[in-house]
């Protein structure tokens, strides 16, 4: 049985030459058991007719934001909320701009803003349009928000030019959708504990010790774990990053608060990830009021607990414990040492002085250190990196369940 069975896919078709291929895609989706709600932009109707798409998808075509009957119950919001996925194929340069800029100028633009469903785009356009910095900037924005972009392929384009711009074949889009929905349930029944962000250790009523961690990597991981069907418990320090959807969150501002919650929750979890940048020290003589400047030279520091090391040392049979290591020198050596000393299964090692930075950046380049060696990964957007790490976790758990690991 296809993993698309009973999935509600909103198939948005926009105005490019490749729109005719969306008819075949709609047919394949229906054949795989998906419920397809088709949407045609005004421009797309110059290329394919609503009647063709309606016939192949088995559902009425959405197009007019101001259709009286539909809007009696604010149809565009209802539909935006009921979809499991919004797939735009083909996606024009204009559709990518609408989504990136939040332009609610038509049904599709409104839907991009109103939906909480994941967005997948399969772009198709002239190669110069694709390579234009405006299009590339919009793509970067969409990726940063977690959208998935499939294609385009390189090849002969309908406009007679050659280069990147061809829509992926409908069968390939279907294959990727099936893999996507498989991944969405790959951690079903698995409970994960993840720590993220910095901790803040008070000096007095107005000052604290902390670090540059933004929490973005840990938040992206929490979201990706949840997308894969896991039950996620997130312990986080103070951060301004937008909180991830679908997870149980606890604010644990200091290392001691984070440790107490982590120790309480870890025994119930099969996967434990320490992505938080826990401050190394706290102030023994922290003041309730505001200290005079002169007294700041007499702070007594005490080392904070190493939370992931404590969780590693208390590891139970079957638990997968993963730590993060931020280094500026001897990355692999240090990560390997930490893996052993803290009894961790994997260490995600970060060269924090990498080109483009890590703290607060949208991208990250890691080296995954496991018992059998270190593997250098390319630099990815943090959301994409999180999805890839989660895929590794799911593969590891599945292999273990089959007795192979
Ligand atoms: C013959 C023709 C072919 C087009 N093909 C594409 C295309 O493949 N990709 C694209 O981004 N725009 C293409 N366009 C331009 C779009 O139709 C135009 O930007 C339109 O505003 C897109 O609107 P929509 O995103 O609402 O569908 C084409 C226009 C014409 C006239």
HEC sequence for 91-127: ECHHHHHHHHHCCCCCHHHHHHHHCCCCEEEEECCCH
Residue 141 shares a structural domain with residue 262: no
CA–CA distance, 94 with 126 (Å, rounded to integer) = 12
Residue after which a domain boundary falls, among 149, 184, 219: 184
CATH number at residue 134: 3.40.50.1950
Q: Is the CB of 103 under 6 A from ligand 1?
A: no
The pLDDT of residue 77 is 73
CB distance 41 to ligand 1 below 6 Å: yes
Q: Is 94 in the pocket of ligand 1 (CB under 6 A)?
A: yes
Residues belonging to the chain: 405
Q: How far is CA 6 from CA 43, 350, 388, in A?
A: 30, 40, 26
| Ligand 1 centroid distance, CA of 20 (Å) | 13
Indicate which residue of 60, 74, 134, 159 is catalytic: 159
- CA 9 to ligand 1 centroid distance, Å: 23
Nearest in space to 232 (alpha carbons), one of 250, 217, 216: 250
Residue 380, in any domain of the structure: yes
Q: What is the pLDDT at residue 404?
A: 58
Q: How far is the CA of 127 from the centre of ligand 1 (A)?
A: 13
Residue where a domain stops, chosen among 162, 184, 206: 184
Residues near 223 by beta carbon (within 8 Å), at least 6 away in sequence: 146, 244, 245, 246, 247, 383, 386
Domain that holds residue 82: 8-184
Query: Relative to the CA of 108, which ligand 1 atom is closest?
Result: 26
Q: What is the pLDDT of residue 401?
A: 86
Is 192 noted as a catalytic residue in this protein? no
Regions of the chain with pLDDT less than 70: 67-76, 358, 360, 404-405
- Asked if residue 110 and residue 177 are part of one domain, the reply reads yes
- By C-alpha distance, which of 275, 272, 248 is closest to 262? 272
Domain count, the chain: 2
- Final residue of a domain: which of 132, 157, 184? 184
Q: What pLDDT score was predicted for residue 244?
A: 87
Question: What is the 3 state secondary structure string of 41-90?
Answer: CCCHHHCCCHHHHHHHHCCCCECCCCCHHHHCCCHHHHHHHHCCEEEEEE
Q: Is residue 3 part of a domain?
A: no
User: Are 200 and 100 members of one domain?
Assistant: no
Establish whether residue 95 lines the binding site of ligand 1, counting it when its CB lies within 6 angstroms of any ligand atom.
yes
Q: For the purposes of burial, counting CB atoms within 10 Å of the CB of 315, is it exposed (0-12), middle (13-18) or buried (19 or more)?
A: middle
Query: What is the rounded CA–CA span in Å between residue 247 and residue 334?
Result: 32
Residue 1 lies in a domain: no
Backbone angles phi, psi at 152, to 5 degrees: -80, 170
Decide: pTM greater than 0.85.
Answer: no
Distance (Å, rounded) from C-alpha 130 to C-alpha 139? Answer: 10
């Amino acid at each position: 049985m296809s993993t698309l069975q009973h999935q509600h896919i909103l198939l948005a078709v926009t105005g490019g030459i490749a729109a005719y291929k969306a008819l075949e895609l709609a047919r394949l989706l229906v054949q795989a058991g998906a419920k397809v709600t088709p949407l045609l932009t005004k421009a797309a109707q110059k290329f394919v007719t609503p009647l063709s798409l309606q016939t192949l998808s088995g559902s009425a075509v959405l197009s007019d934001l101001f259709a009286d009957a539909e809007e009696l119950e604010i149809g565009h919001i209802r539909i935006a909320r009921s979809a499991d996925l919004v797939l735009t194929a083909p996606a024009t340069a204009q559709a990518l701009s609408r989504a990136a800029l939040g332009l609610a100028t038509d049904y599709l633009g409104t839907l991009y803003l109103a939906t909480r469903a994941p967005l997948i785009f399969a772009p198709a356009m002239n190669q110069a349009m694709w390579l234009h910095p405006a299009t590339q900037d919009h793509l970067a924005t969409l990726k940063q928000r977690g959208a998935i972009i499939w294609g385009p392929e390189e090849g002969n384009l309908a406009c007679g030019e050659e280069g990147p711009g061809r829509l992926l074949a409908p069968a390939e889009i279907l294959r990727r959708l099936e893999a996507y929905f498989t991944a969405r349930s790959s951690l079903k029944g698995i409970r994960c504990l993840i720590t993220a962000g910095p901790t803040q250790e008070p000096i007095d009523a107005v000052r604290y010790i902390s670090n540059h961690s933004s929490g973005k990597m840990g938040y992206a991981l929490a979201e990706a774990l949840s997308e894969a069907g896991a039950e996620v418990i997130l312990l986080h320090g103070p951060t301004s990053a937008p909180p991830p959807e679908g997870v149980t969150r606890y604010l644990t501002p200091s290392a001691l608060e984070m440790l107490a919650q982590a120790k309480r929750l870890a025994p119930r979890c099969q996967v434990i990830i320490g992505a938080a940048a826990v401050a190394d020290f706290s102030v023994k003589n922290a003041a309730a009021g505001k200290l005079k400047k002169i007294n700041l030279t007499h702070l007594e520091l005490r080392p904070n607990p190493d939370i992931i090391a404590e969780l590693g040392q208390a590891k139970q049979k079957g638990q997968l414990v993963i730590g993060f290591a931020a280094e500026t020198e001897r990355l692999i050596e240090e990560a390997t040492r930490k893996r052993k000393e803290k009894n961790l299964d994997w260490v995600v090692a970060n060269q924090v002085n990498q080109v483009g930075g890590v703290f607060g950046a949208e991208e990250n380049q890691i080296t995954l250190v496991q018992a059998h060696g270190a593997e250098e990964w390319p630099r990815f957007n943090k959301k994409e990196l999180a999805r890839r790490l989660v895929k590794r976790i799911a593969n590891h758990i599945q292999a273990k369940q089959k007795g192979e690991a």
